[in-house]
Amino acid sequence: MTKIVIVTGGSRGIGAATARLLGREHAAVVVNYRKARSDADAVVNDIKASGGEAIAVQGDVGNEDDVLRLFAETDRAFGPLTGLVNNAGIVGGAKRRIDALTFAGIMELMRVNVAGQMLCAREAVKRMSTRNGGKGGAIVNVSSLGALTGSPHAFIDYAASKGALDTMTIGLAAEVVGSGIRVNGVRPGLIDTDIHDDAGIPDRIKRFGPTMPIGRAGAPEEVAEAIVWLLSDKASYVTGEFINVTGGAR
Ligand code: NAP
């Protein structure tokens, strides 16, 4: 069966690595992006070159109209969805302690990292549920080790958004297990992507990579392997679970 998968935030980092890996498995991949049009186009070209099918669809996952359009364009291009990688996420700017949090900043994190994932999950479940005549499928939510540590002195609001996502993973997995849909989470640790520039710590990988128990930061491709395994039929008896891809960090 051809896999038809939406990867949110598929233009860069972990999402791009996941989309490319799905392409190598000959899936039909919808590469969602917010701003990075040329990066998304490059991912689409790589997927096609490796034997998959792909389109790029712009859209902010924290905007309901954009989410509805993302799923409608997927329906038109490829037909019934079989997978969603809820990957798009933001860290919300420079490192901050609680006294530097703002209401606007907290709400922006929750809009993108929590409401966005829930809206995408809602649209995916509508299409995949065997109760609605769908074929079933799988959802993978990309969380963070921060959901377990709380990211003190850095991003407790970001960590809390990932904690909310983990709780959603547990609840949704139980809610749709009888509808042919599996829902799991992946928690990356320190992974070498642009997100650290957005957090105002561009040298984070160099500084903290060697302090990881495994001695280095992870590559986005190493997270993609866990995501694609959870999406696949090889994980057919796994739901409501989490894989920590953290090089031993806890
Ligand atoms: P990244 O390199 O900064 O890439 C983020 C991706 O998300 C980009 O494709 C970006 O699209 C997209 N995006 C951001 N906001 C969006 C929105 N509102 N709507 C749609 N797309 C949006 O980040 P990453 O490191 O790969 O992170 C991916 C996921 O892993 C995130 O959920 C992050 O929290 C999680 N994570 C990462 C790490 C790490 O160390 N890297 C650790 C733990 C968890 P555009 O470029 O087009 O704007």
Domain boundaries, the chain: 4-245
Model-wide pTM > 0.95:
yes
Q: Residue 1 pLDDT > 70, yes or no?
A: no
The finding on whether 195 has its CB within 6 A of some atom of ligand 1 is: yes
Q: Label residue 201 by pLDDT band (50, 70, 90).
A: confident
Q: How much is the average pLDDT of 86-90?
A: 98
The finding on whether 36 has its CB within 6 A of some atom of ligand 1 is: yes
The finding on whether 15 has its CB within 6 A of some atom of ligand 1 is: yes
How many whole angstroms from 33 Cα to the centroid of ligand 1?
Answer: 9
Considering only the top CATH level, what class is 4-245? alpha beta
Q: How much is the average pLDDT of 54-70?
A: 98
Q: What is the pLDDT of residues 157-172, one digit of tens each?
A: 999 999 999 999 999 9
The closest alpha carbon to 9, from 32, 43, 36, 41, belongs to 32
Q: Residue 48 pLDDT > 60, yes or no?
A: yes
Q: How much is the average pLDDT of 113-140?
A: 97
The closest alpha carbon to 195, from 8, 20, 9, belongs to 9
The finding on whether 193 has its CB within 6 A of some atom of ligand 1 is: yes
Question: Is there a catalytic annotation at residue 158?
Answer: yes
Q: Residue 174 pLDDT > 80, yes or no?
A: yes
How many whole angstroms from 103 Cα to the centroid of ligand 1?
Answer: 22
How many whole angstroms from 19 Cα to the centroid of ligand 1?
Answer: 13
Question: Do residues 44 and 55 touch, judged by C-beta distance below 8 A?
Answer: yes
**Which ligand 1 atom lies nearest to the CA of residue 33?**
47
Query: How far does Cα 3 stand from its chain's mean position?
Result: 17
pLDDT of residue 196: 94
How many whole angstroms from 134 Cα to the centroid of ligand 1?
Answer: 29
Q: Label residue 209 by pLDDT band (50, 70, 90).
A: very high
Catalytic residue, chosen from 33, 71, 155, 158, is: 158
